[in-house]
Amino acid sequence: MSTNAYKHWQDLQVHCPGDVPPATPLTWLAEKHQEHADRLTNRLLPTDSLHEAERATTDDALAVLALREAVRREMEYGRGAHVRDALQLGATWNEVAAALDLAPDEAREVLRAWADGQRHLYTASEERGEQPLGLSAEQHATVLALAELGDDERVPAEGER
């Protein structure tokens, strides 16, 4: 992201998750969240405190809620892609499930739901005549094939396929 984009982000008021531009780096979200959260914490300081502290406003409280929700959505959205990555790099379903604190079949459902959403995104963008985003039919099938691996089975290394 450019310096101008970062400056725009710093000046942007966030009151709902939709105010957060797509692909905003998580570090930017965390930084803005912390600024607002610090002001909320300052509300707890005694009014006669020796330290001058900026106190929270309604905007700060709304920003904290909206930014936390934007982070939650971003983290949730990325789960499936990272499950795919882990499996493609050699993790087993048992390892992926442990990392997500889920059962292997629940972890498989995370991957399937993500893959289906990415496939829908691809077909919808194609129908609108846009550059397709998401998973093509072939990519979708490849991802779904990962769900068929056994709990302790690994994707074969490049030379083993």
Query: Half-sphere exposure of residue 70, counting CA atoms within 13 Å on the CB side?
Result: 25
Give the model's pLDDT for residue 75: 86
Q: Is the pTM of this model over 0.75?
A: no
- The secondary structure of residue 158, as a DSSP letter, is G
Predicted confidence (pLDDT) per residue in 20-70, tens digit: 988 899 999 999 999 999 999 888 777 776 567 777 889 999 999 999 999
Percent with pLDDT over 70 in the chain = 94
Q: Would you say residue 127 has pLDDT above 80?
A: yes
Structure tokens at 116: 């289906």
Report the chain's C-alpha Rg in angstroms: 21
pLDDT at 62: 95
